[in-house]
Amino acid sequence: MQYVSTRGHSATPSFSEILLGGLAPDGGLYLPQQYPQVSGAELDQWRTLSYADLAFQVLRKFATDIPESDLKALAHKTYGADVYCNARAGDDAGQITPLRTLEQKDGSKLVLQALSNGPTLAFKDMAMQLLGNLFEYALAKKGAELNIVGATSGDTGSAAEYAMRGKKGIRVFMLSPHKKMSAFQTAQMFSLQDPNIFNIAVEGVFDDCQDIVKAISNDLDYKAAKKVGTVNSINWARVVAQVVYYFRGYLAATDSNEQKVSFTVPSGNFGNICAGHIARMMGLPIDKLVVATNENDVLDEFFRTGVYRVRKSAETYHTSSPSMDISKASNFERFVYDLLGRDSARVKALFGKVESAGGFDLTGQPGSDGDEFASVIKYGFASGRSTHDDRLATIRFAQENYGITVDTHTADGIKVARENLTPGVTMIVLETALPAKFNETIREALGRDADRPAGFENIESLAQRFEVMPADAERIKAYVAEHTGL
Ligand SMILES: *Cc1c(COP(=O)(O)O)cnc(C)c1O
């Protein structure tokens, strides 16, 4: 399996070659040259597999340059029933991503797929935990080391730290805005005592953190000398790891391959739903892929109108589903590449236009950039948006009607899913976090606190380990250099 850049760069690297990198040299994103196909017979065989074995079957189609026995061991090390889930998931723990039926009406069924039983209570663990093991494996093979420098406003940083803690050859330097994260999120990250994890609380806002990471990424000499890398959501291995749970959800919700299933996905950077698109391209019988956004509705606007118009960071709303507060979806280019028939020259031109003119238009109207919006239907996409009031109403609705407390992002998903039900088709909503992480809004909606999962009762009172630093890229570069010894 060779990979290509969405912008047409001539090299065709292998899975292992793109594993530790980010963007392609031409600024594009990597995708497989062809999507591997899954036959009906194979799908039938996959019905009875454990999650770890299913993950291995999906991975081996993409990571063809890693020996199968190693890949299988990595899948089990990550998703073994005794490894990935703990007692929190109860009787269903062994299923890793158990389904729960929420409602049934007019021949359609609404189902929730739990993806938040990993160590940081958000779906990002599903991919990041595998990434930690893949990185450690790949670095050991090369005798190399990697220093991950990242910026976080909450979920990504903690998922990365819990995936990389204690891993040989890896250090994590995570920048977060000092005193701006919730007490729970701060405690999750700062209570880690592993010597390879460095929390840097920057005196500034999230954008300052991100600017410093960009400054470091742009200093190519420094980056090479200090072996600096990232783990952002464009990482291809993260997308592949997410493909697995679409197969799992489909197989658990159906008993024959004649049946179709739809998925609704609370979306920000388009990473999660991009994995659904890839599962569909591999032959998984998906009816609709429904993009759910919050007030930051760039993606909903595109899937309703065919106009992609990114927002400036000053126009990005801070909402109560903060992990979806994205103004420019970093994985969207992967879908557009397929939508445009894999025409990399046009992808390059359109995303150049995103930088120069803030967007592009595929409506086919006079003066537009193309007419491919008509084919969006062929790819089965639909969309919807949700507001703070919708979120509160949905959290209350789910409590009263389903007897469960859902987090704010999952609430956006449920709201949009209920607007997109098709008779006879099961709709699976992907749960992206547990409510304890976003307790302020739960209290606003229900007048009480969200339940704390076992093991998190006193997290705020644990000893914290972090360094407060000014928003100064040079000072932070010096700190990284000092602690890597490079
Ligand atoms: C990251 C995140 C999202 C958005 O996922 P994308 O892959 O960026 O679309 C949604 N909900 C939660 C809780 C998240 O952490």
For residue 346, is pLDDT > 60? Answer: yes
- The DSSP bridge pattern shows strands 359-361 and 307-309 to be antiparallel
Q: What is the CATH number of domain 93-121+237-446?
A: 3.40.50.1100
Residues 6+ apart with CB under 8 A from 179: 201
In 3D space, the residue among 382, 379, 361 whose CA is nearest the CA of residue 290 turns out to be 382
For residue 230, is pLDDT > 60? Answer: yes
- Cα 323 to averaged position of ligand 1 atoms, centre (Å): 5
- Cα 142 to averaged position of ligand 1 atoms, centre (Å): 32
> At residue 306, what are phi and psi to the nearest 5 degrees?
90, 5
Helix boundaries (H) for 340-472 = 344-357, 388-402, 408-418, 439-446
How many whole angstroms separate alpha carbon 413 and alpha carbon 188?
25
Mutate to test the pocket of ligand 1, among 267, 299, 381 (most ligand atoms within 8 A of CB): 267
- Cα 53 to averaged position of ligand 1 atoms, centre (Å): 25
Q: Which residue has the tokens 């990232």?
A: 230
Residues 269-301 pLDDT 10s: 999 999 999 999 999 999 999 999 999 999 999
For residue 366, is pLDDT > 90? Answer: yes
323 lines ligand 1 (CB under 6 A): yes
Show me where the domains of the chain are located.
Answer: 93-121+237-446
> At residue 199, what are phi and psi to the nearest 5 degrees?
-95, 125
Q: Cα–chain-centroid distance for residue 449?
A: 26
In 3D space, the residue among 312, 261, 207 whose CA is nearest the CA of residue 43 turns out to be 261
The string of DSSP letters for 129-198 reads HHHHHHHHHHHHHHT--EEEEEE-SSHHHHHHHHHHTT-TTEEEEEEEETTTS-HHHHHHHHT---TTEE
In order of 129, 159, 250, 253, 288, the CA distances from 21 in angstroms are: 17, 18, 31, 35, 32
Q: What is the helix (H) or strand (E) element at residue 40, kind and residue range?
A: helix 40-46
- Cα 38 to averaged position of ligand 1 atoms, centre (Å): 27
Relative to the CA of 326, which ligand 1 atom is closest? 8
Give me the mean pLDDT over the 126-141 stretch.
Answer: 96
How many whole angstroms separate alpha carbon 196 and alpha carbon 86?
24
How many whole angstroms separate alpha carbon 98 and alpha carbon 89?
9
Among the options 72, 124, 226, 437, which is catalytic? 124
How many whole angstroms separate alpha carbon 30 and alpha carbon 356?
23
Cβ(270)–Cβ(335) below 8 Å = yes
How many whole angstroms separate alpha carbon 384 and alpha carbon 303?
9
432 lines ligand 1 (CB under 6 A): yes
SS3 of residue 75 by DSSP: helix
271 lines ligand 1 (CB under 6 A): yes
Rg of the chain over CA atoms, in angstroms?
A: 21
Cα pseudo-dihedral 318, 320, 321, 324, rounded to 10: -10
Give the highest mean pLDDT range of 76-85, 89-98, 383-392: 383-392
Residues 396-454 pLDDT 10s: 999 999 999 999 999 999 999 999 999 999 999 999 999 999 999 999 999 999 999 88
Relative to the CA of 272, which ligand 1 atom is closest? 7
409 lines ligand 1 (CB under 6 A): yes
- Cα 267 to averaged position of ligand 1 atoms, centre (Å): 6
For residue 89, is pLDDT > 70? Answer: no
Mutate to test the pocket of ligand 1, among 272, 334, 442 (most ligand atoms within 8 A of CB): 272
Q: Which pair of structure tokens corresponds to residue 23? A: 């963007």
How many whole angstroms separate alpha carbon 429 and alpha carbon 126?
16
SS3 of residue 462 by DSSP: coil
Work out the number of other CB atoms within 10 angstroms of the CB of residue 91. 7
Quick one: pLDDT band at residue 88, thresholds 50, 70, 90? Answer: low
Average per-residue pLDDT for the chain: 93
Write down the pLDDT at residue 260. Answer: 95
Tell me whether residue 312 is one of the annotated catalytic residues. Answer: no
Whole-number percent of the chain with pLDDT over 70: 98
Cα pseudo-dihedral 66, 68, 70, 75, rounded to 10: 100
Q: Which amino acid belongs to residue 93?
A: A
Residues 174-204 pLDDT 10s: 999 998 888 888 999 999 999 999 999 999 8
Residues 34-73 pLDDT 10s: 999 999 999 999 999 999 999 999 999 999 999 999 999 9
Q: Burial-class residue 175 by CB neighbours within 10 Å (0-12, 13-18, 19+).
A: buried
Whole-number percent of the chain with pLDDT over 90: 80
Mutate to test the pocket of ligand 1, among 238, 297, 323, 429 (most ligand atoms within 8 A of CB): 323
Write down the pLDDT at residue 6. Answer: 97
- Strand order of the β-sheet with 467-470 is 228-229, 146-151, 170-177, 197-203, 467-470
How many whole angstroms separate alpha carbon 266 and alpha carbon 386?
10
Please compute, for residue 313, the number of CA atoms within 13 A of its CA located in the half-sphere on the CB side: 6
Quick one: pLDDT band at residue 87, thresholds 50, 70, 90? Answer: very low
Among positive and negative, which fits the CA dihedral 67, 73, 75, 78? Answer: negative
Closest C-alpha residue for ligand 1 atom 2: 323
Provide the β-strand partners of residue 149: 173
